[in-house]
Amino acid sequence: MNAPHPPKVAGIDSTVPTPAHTVAPVSPAPGATASPDTTASVPAPTGPAPGTLLQDRLAGWVSDLTTLQELTERLSRTTTLEAALQELLRAGSALVGARRGLVVLRPAGGAGPRTTLGLGLGRADLGHIETVPSGSLPYGRLLDDPLPDSAFPDGTSTSTSTSTSTEIVHADLFAEEGLDPRHREVAARLGYAASYALPLSAESAGRLGAAVWLYDEPAEPDEHHRHLAGIYVRHAAEHIALLVEVEHTRACAATIAEELLPSRLPRVPGVQLAARHRSGPRGGGDWYDALPLPDAALGLSVGSVTGSGPSAVAAMGRLRASLRAYAVMEGEDPVAVLSDLELLLRLTEPARSATALFAYCEPALRKVTLAGAGHSPPLLIGERRTEFAETSVSAPLGMLACWEAPSLEIQAEPGETVLLYTDGLLHRTGDPMDRAFARLHAAAASVPRALRADPGAIADHVLRTVLPDGLDAVDSEEDVVLLAARFD
């Protein structure tokens, strides 16, 4: 008769299998005699030798520690929140023996991004799951329950039942009488029959969300693999809490930077305007502005403050506001505007420098008078020409004891577009500056005829062409600003 197979449980296979140790019978010592009251020989012991069970247990602990170390090292190498959540799902899937799963991020107090990511589940699958009432889903119950004291500091659960405040197990969904009908329908549609859920909780940030792993057949992880998964998830939650804080800080910096830039562009007869702005992860000091001026004129400016982070964003806001004031007072003289701005920067922020370009536009005449301080020349895009304006070489603001450079006049033709931009557009290409300028010129020259009537379409085409493969959206330290003005 064949020996019965052990019952199947979900979880990773043991790295070090438990061997069946036996020892040989012990022979009596020479000259030894049997005890007088012994009528038969005593059989030699056949069980494990002393210390064998301890060795096996130690081998199992070493195997578990090695597995956890490898998984946590992979997690610690993730630098973005999305990558960390995906790694959490993959590692948890290996630990509990599930093929699919999802993580729901809902930081307490709304201090961070809210998102749902899936492993082996598409957007449509996650949408189906979200149609189930929250209280009927494992992660919904975990997010609604108060955080137990037993989750900290060691994270051990106070109960081993299948529905506790630190884990929720559905070993066989379709066998549960009280299962929500919509949950039953979605589970049948997506093809999962069991689930195992754990909360994501960090000591510093409280409850962050929950992770759920889904089984194709009725199953549940055994106590050993639950313990390993719990240890890993508690470690992962601390790492994820740090990334949530980083994402929250980045979002706040980006919001502040966006608020300091124009919420809308003015409508001035004779010219159409469009702007594009890509901010770096820490927030940068690039800006653009469009300001209606007396006599139906228009002031356009772009610039960049050195540095990044909140201090650079604040300096950018102060400089842009000052430039607006100088433009109203003496905008028809761009050199005077930048000279006043340079004096203000040197007196109020001597440790900082900036590049800037200011253009005084007269839409009725299609005439642009501009001056630049260490800034890249504007690009003129038309049917018969695509060329850079020949601005004079000048130092950035704050670099010399006194700044001054001659102004330049551009006479645009009907339908031509003047494109102003910051150096971040060139730096993000990763090319030397001469090749970056050549790439920008080629991108502007290749704007399709059908798009030339729309300055926004022109700016989008230039972004996609100069920065292919999504480089216009990557986490680069460089901000990107484009301001396009098309003359009727």
In the prediction, which pLDDT does 475 show?
Answer: 58
Q: How far apart are CA 416 and CA 397, in angstroms?
A: 30
Q: What is the pLDDT of residues 352-380, one digit of tens each?
A: 889 999 999 999 999 999 999 988 999 99
Which residues, 6+ apart, have CB-to-CB distance to 329 below 8 Å?
none
Low-confidence residues of the chain: pLDDT under 50: 1-40, 42, 148-164
Of 42, 27, 10, the residue nearest 171 (C-alpha): 10
Q: How far apart are CA 412 and CA 414, in angstroms?
A: 7
In the prediction, which pLDDT does 19 show?
Answer: 37
Upstream peptide bond of 266 is cis (omega within 30 degrees of 0):
no
In the prediction, which pLDDT does 472 show?
Answer: 58
Q: How far apart are CA 167 and CA 156, in angstroms?
A: 10
In the prediction, which pLDDT does 158 show?
Answer: 33
Using a cut of 0.85, tell me whether the model's pTM lies above it: no
Q: Give domain limits for the chain.
A: 58-252, 261-487
Q: How would you list the strands of the sheet with 194-202, edge to edge?
A: 115-119, 100-105, 206-215, 194-202, 168-170
In the prediction, which pLDDT does 356 show?
Answer: 92
Strand partners, 268: 271
Q: What is the pLDDT of residues 286-300, one digit of tens each?
A: 999 999 999 999 999
SS3 373: strand
In the prediction, which pLDDT does 483 show?
Answer: 96
The helix (run of H) or strand (run of E) holding residue 460 is helix 455-466
Q: How far apart are CA 392 and CA 474, in angstroms?
A: 32
In CATH, which of 1.20.120.1080, 3.50.20.10, 1.10.472.10, 3.30.450.80 is domain 58-252? 3.30.450.80
CA 339 to chain centre: 41
Q: How far apart are CA 406 and CA 409, in angstroms?
A: 10
In CATH, which of 3.40.47.10, 3.90.1580.10, 3.60.40.10, 3.40.50.1820 is domain 261-487? 3.60.40.10
The helix (run of H) or strand (run of E) holding residue 86 is helix 81-96
* E runs forming strands in 340-487: 354-362, 367-373, 379-381, 386-388, 408-411, 417-421, 480-487
Q: How far apart are CA 310 and CA 280, in angstroms?
A: 12
The helix (run of H) or strand (run of E) holding residue 105 is strand 100-105
The residue to which tokens 């390993």 are assigned: 228
Q: For 284-294, b where at least 16 C-beta lie within 10 A, e where not — what string?
A: bbbbbbbbebe
Alpha-carbon distances of 133 from 128, 137, 139, 167, rounded to whole Å: 11, 7, 11, 19
Cβ 357 vs Cβ 373: under 8 Å: yes
Strand partners, 103: 117, 211
